Amino acid sequence: MRQLTLKLKNGEIRVLEVPAPVLGPGMVLVRNHYSLISAGTEASSATAARKSLVGKAKERPQQVKQVIDAFKEHGPIQTYRAVMKRLDSYSPLGYSSAGEVIEAAPDVRGFAAGDLVACGGAGYASHAEIIAVPSNLCVKLPNSADLRRAAYNTVGAIALQGVRQADLRIGETCAVIGLGLIGQLTCLMLQASGVAVCGVDVDPVAVETARKHCVDCAWTRSDAGITEQIKTFTGRLGVDAVIITAGTSSLDPINFAGQIARKKGRVVVVGNVPTGFDREPHYYRKELELRMSCSYGPGRYDLDYEQKGIDYPAAYVRWTEKRNMQAFQELLHTGRISIDYLTTQEFSLADAPKAYDMIVNRSEPFLGVLLKYDVDKPLQQARVEANRPKPAGKVGIAFIGAGSYAQGHLLPNIPHQDDDVFCKAVMTNSGTTSRRVAERYGFEFCASDVRDILENADINTVFIVTRHDSHAEYVLRSLQAGKHVFVEKPICLTIEELKKIEDTYYGQHEAETRQLMVGFNRRFAPHAVALKQRLAEGPVSMIYRVNAGAVPADTWIQDPAIGGGRIIGEVCHFIDFLTFMCDSLPVRVYASALPDPEHLNDTVAINLEFANGSVGTVCYFANGAKRLPKEYVEVYQSGLTGIIRDFKELEIFGQGRLLRKKLLRQNKGQACMVKTFVDRVKNGGSSLIRTDEIFAVTRATFCVMESLQNRQAVSILA
C-alpha cells in the first residue's frame, strides 16, 4: 500500500510503498477514501523539518536538553544512533480520515467489513491507503454518508470539545479568536446551538470567509476600535465566552480575550498559544475563568480508553472523544452545519507533496485540503520488497518489532558483513518504520503478516522486539515454526504463558540445539564477565541497587496487561544478573514495596535465595535523585568483594592488590550478546543462556508479585 511520509532530517515529503498495518486487538482495519490535511499542525511539522539542524534545535530546546542528557549517560555512539534514528525515520502524517472497513479484530464489536467509518488519531488515521484504528477512535457512519465531509472528523471533534468547554447557553455570545479551519468549525457549531458569534483573525481573507458563512460579525485584529465594536455587539456586556483557536507564540490572543470577555466570563484555549496572560487589569478584576480544551475530548491520551477500548460510562462522562466525533458526524449528516465551503483544494494521494508545498509556501489561499484515494484499484496488502533477494544462509534473520531499542542496541550489532548472515524480513506495527529499518539495515522485504516470516524456509532466526503483551504469542508461534528465537525481556507476562512456552520448547525434538534467548544483556557486560571469572564455586552474597527513576502510571510499561509493570518488565534483568553471578537458580523470594496510592510496586526491595545457598537483594527504587547513576552492584565471597558502578567502573577487593577497571563509556553487554547469539545460531550449540535459568528467572518475577500481595516468602520452584 502507499502512505504519505515526512522525513524529519530534510523535510522531504514522499508517497512510499509500505506494508499494510498489522490488525491488533481492539483495532479496525480501514481503507481510506479521503483524509484531511491539518494545515496548521502538519505544515508546522513540515516547516520545522525543512530547517537546518541549528534551526531544528532552536525550535525544540527541550529535545536538545534530552540529547545532552543522553550524551552524558550513554556516550556519543548511542546518542548519535538515537538522534539519527529519529531524523532518518519516515514520519507518518495525518490524523483525520474517512473510509470503509476492511476487517475488525475479533474482540471488536459494532464494526464489520463494508461499514463506512470516520477515523481520528495521530499515528492511526494517517494519509495512507490502509490504516489500523482503535475502535474508540472510529465512528460508524450511515450508508448514505458523504465521506468528503466525514473526513473532517478529528478537527470537528476538536472544535466541538472547545465549544463544550465554553459551556454556553442559547442567546449568549461568544468570540472566536483564530478563524482557520478549527475556528470556522467552531463558529458553525456555535451558531447551530443558538449562540451569537463574532470572529477575529489577523488574516483578512479568513475574516471575510467567516463573514459569509459562520459568524454574525467579524474583524481583523488590526481594525480600529475592535474592542468597542465587540462591546456594542454584546450590548456593552462583553462576550460570555472567548474560544481561542489561533496558533501563535504571541501573548496577544490570551490578553485580548481578557479585554473582550464580560465579568466572570470564560476563556477557552483550543489552539497552541501561550497562556502567560497579564493578571491586571482584566483576568483578576473580572474574575475570569481560564479553561484548557484537551484535543478531541475525554479519553484523549488515556491508554485504557484509546488503546484498550474501555469506554467511560455516558452517565458520568457524557461527551468522550468518540461521542464528540459521533455528534459532529450527526451535525454533518442532518445538515445542521454545512462545511462544503471549507474544502478549498483536493489532491490525489500521488500529488500530496504538491499540497504540502502549497501550504508551506502559501502559494494560494486555502482552508480545508483533502486527499482523495483511488478506491477502484485492487488492495495491496502483500509484503513489500525493499532490497534485492538474498540467497539462503546459515542465519536468516527476521525482526518482529524494530523500535528505538532494536535500532539502538540490536540491529547495529548484527554481523551484517558475515556472508553467512542474512537479514531477510522486518515487520512492525508501522509500515513506515518497517520501510526505514529495511532500507537502513538491508532487509530483503517488509512484512505485514507474520506468516510471511514464520512460513519462510529461508528464515531460521526470529528477533521479537514488540511490546511485552505480544511476546508470548510470537515466541510460541516462532518455536512451533521451528525457528531460533531471541525475545527482548520479558519472555511473557503470565505464569500460564510461561507454562505453554516451557511445554512447547521441551516438547520439541530439536530443543537441545534450538536457541531460545531472552535479552538479558547485563550478564554479557565486560565488567560482569570479569567479576564472574574471579569468583569460585560456592555461595555468594549480592546486592543490586537500581535507581530506576519514576515512570508515569499511565504509560504502557506500567499497564499490567500491556507492559506487565516494572517488576515483570524490567526487574527480571537484575534477577537474571544475580542468577548469573552465583551460577544457581533462584528458589525462594520475599519482597516488600514502599506504599504508593497507584500501587505501581516500583520502589521495592526483593530478597532472593538460590539453590546453592547464595543470597541476593535487588533494591529497585523509583524515588531517587536523577543525578545518581542508575545501577550499582556488590558481590561478596570468601574475602573477595566486587563492585560494579553503572557498568562503567569495576573494583575487586581481596585476593591480592586492588583491581580497578574503568571504561570510557557504559557497556551493558548488548553488542556481545547479539553477536554471540548469532554466532551460536550459525555454528550450533546449546542455548546461550540455559533455558532452566530463563524460566526460573521469569517465574521469580511472578513470585515477587505474589509475595508483595501476600506479604509472605514464596517458593519459586515449578
Q: How many CA atoms lie within 13 A of 579 on its CB side?
A: 27
Residue 511: the pLDDT is 62
DSSP code per residue over 74-127:
HHHHHHHHHHHHHHHSEEE---EEEEEEEEE-TT--S--TT-EEEEE-TTTS-S
Question: For domain 155-292, is the CATH number 3.40.630.10?
Answer: no
Beta bridge partners of 30: 101, 131
Closest C-alpha among 329, 343, 335, 342 to residue 212: 342
Sign of the Cα torsion 452, 454, 460, 463 reads positive
Beta bridge partners of 76: none
Q: What is the pLDDT of residues 96-107, one digit of tens each?
A: 999 999 999 999
How far is Cα of residue 39 from the mean position of the Cα atoms in its chain? 23
Alpha helices in 151-203 (DSSP H): 153-166, 181-192
Instruction: Burial-class residue 661 by CB neighbours within 10 Å (0-12, 13-18, 19+).
Output: middle
Rounded to an integer, the average pLDDT of 464-471 is 96
Residue 718: the pLDDT is 64
| DSSP symbol at 351 | G
Model confidence band, residue 656 (pLDDT cutoffs 50, 70, 90): confident
Residue 390: the pLDDT is 75
Q: Work out whether strand 116-120 and strand 138-140 pair parallel, antiparallel, or are unpaired.
A: antiparallel
3-class DSSP state of 152:
coil
To the question of pTM greater than 0.85 for the whole model, the response is yes
Fold classified for 2-152+303-372: Quinone Oxidoreductase; Chain A, domain 1 (3.90.180)
Residue recorded with cell 560482569: 528
Per domain, the residue ranges of the chain are 2-152+303-372, 155-292, 406-518, 521-715
Q: What is the pLDDT of residues 139-198, one digit of tens each?
A: 999 999 999 999 999 999 999 999 999 999 999 999 999 999 999 999 999 999 999 999
Cα-based distances in Å from 412 to 73, 87, 535, 556: 19, 17, 32, 26
Alpha helices in 442-571 (DSSP H): 451-454, 471-480, 495-506, 526-534, 565-566
Residue 686: the pLDDT is 85
Closest C-alpha among 614, 17, 697, 38 to residue 355: 38
Phi first, then psi, for residue 239 (nearest 5°) are -70, 145
Average pLDDT, the chain: 92
What is the C-alpha to C-alpha distance for residues 288 and 258, in angstroms, rounded to an integer? 8
Instruction: Count CB neighbours of 604 within 10 A.
Output: 24
Phi first, then psi, for residue 361 (nearest 5°) are -85, -10
What is the C-alpha to C-alpha distance for residues 647 and 633, in angstroms, rounded to an integer? 9
Model confidence band, residue 69 (pLDDT cutoffs 50, 70, 90): low
Instruction: Burial-class residue 87 by CB neighbours within 10 Å (0-12, 13-18, 19+).
Output: middle
Burial string for 664-702 (b: 16+ CB within 10 Å, else e) reads: eebbbbbbbbbeebbbbbbeeeebbbebebbbbbbbbbb
Through-space distance between the first and last CA atoms of the chain, rounded to whole angstroms:
47
What is the C-alpha to C-alpha distance for residues 13 and 7, in angstroms, rounded to an integer? 6
Rounded to an integer, the average pLDDT of 448-477 is 96
Instruction: Burial-class residue 438 by CB neighbours within 10 Å (0-12, 13-18, 19+).
Output: buried
What is the C-alpha to C-alpha distance for residues 587 and 578, in angstroms, rounded to an integer? 12
Instruction: Count CB neighbours of 581 within 10 A.
Output: 23
Q: What is the pLDDT of residues 351-401, one digit of tens each?
A: 999 999 999 888 888 999 999 999 998 876 678 988 888 777 799 999 999
Closest C-alpha among 323, 284, 170, 184 to residue 243: 184
10-24, 63-77, 286-300, 500-514, range with the lowest pLDDT: 63-77
Model confidence band, residue 405 (pLDDT cutoffs 50, 70, 90): very high
Q: What is the pLDDT of residues 213-239, one digit of tens each?
A: 999 999 999 999 999 999 999 999 999
Check pLDDT > 90 for residue 8: no
Residue recorded with cell 508461534: 477
What is the C-alpha to C-alpha distance for residues 112 and 495, in angstroms, rounded to an integer? 34
Beta bridge partners of 606: 591, 618
Residue 513: the pLDDT is 74
Closest C-alpha among 322, 380, 396 to residue 140: 322
Check pLDDT > 80 for residue 53: no
Residue 212: the pLDDT is 97
**372, containing H or E segment:** strand 368-372
Closest C-alpha among 363, 156, 381, 177 to residue 269: 177
Closest C-alpha among 400, 330, 391 to residue 19: 400
Check pLDDT > 60 for residue 624: yes
Residue 38: the pLDDT is 86
Residue 560: the pLDDT is 93
Amino acid at 202: V
Residue 79: the pLDDT is 66
What is the C-alpha to C-alpha distance for residues 65 and 63, in angstroms, rounded to an integer? 5
Q: What's the length of the chain?
A: 718
The three cell numbers locating residue 114: 463494508
Q: Work out whether strand 261-269 and strand 289-292 pair parallel, antiparallel, or are unpaired.
A: parallel
What is the C-alpha to C-alpha distance for residues 495 and 664, in angstroms, rounded to an integer? 41
44-48, 246-250, 585-589, range with the lowest pLDDT: 44-48
Closest C-alpha among 539, 697, 547, 520 to residue 632: 547
What is the C-alpha to C-alpha distance for residues 626 and 242, in angstroms, rounded to an integer? 41
Rounded to an integer, the average pLDDT of 509-513 is 67
Cα-based distances in Å from 595 to 42, 558, 599, 708: 44, 16, 7, 11
**CATH superfamily of the 521-715 domain:** Dihydrodipicolinate Reductase; domain 2 (3.30.360.10)
Q: What is the pLDDT of residues 551-577, one digit of tens each?
A: 999 899 999 999 999 999 999 999 999
**CATH superfamily of the 406-518 domain:** NAD(P)-binding Rossmann-like Domain (3.40.50.720)
Phi first, then psi, for residue 342 (nearest 5°) are -70, -30
Asked if the domains at 2-152+303-372 and 406-518 fall in one CATH topology, the answer is no
Residues 546/644, Cβ–Cβ less than 8 Å: no
SS (H, E, C) 420-448: CEEEEEEECCCHHHHHHHHHHHCCCEECC
Check pLDDT > 90 for residue 83: no
What is the C-alpha to C-alpha distance for residues 233 and 217, in angstroms, rounded to an integer? 8
Residue 65: the pLDDT is 59
What is the C-alpha to C-alpha distance for residues 496 and 504, in angstroms, rounded to an integer? 12
Residue 509: the pLDDT is 62
Sheet holding 640-645, edge to edge: 659-662, 649-653, 640-645, 631-637, 541-547, 615-621, 604-610, 586-593, 714-715
3-class DSSP state of 53:
helix
Residues 646/631, Cβ–Cβ less than 8 Å: yes
What is the C-alpha to C-alpha distance for residues 32 and 22, in angstroms, rounded to an integer? 16
Model confidence band, residue 76 (pLDDT cutoffs 50, 70, 90): low
Amino acid at 34: Y
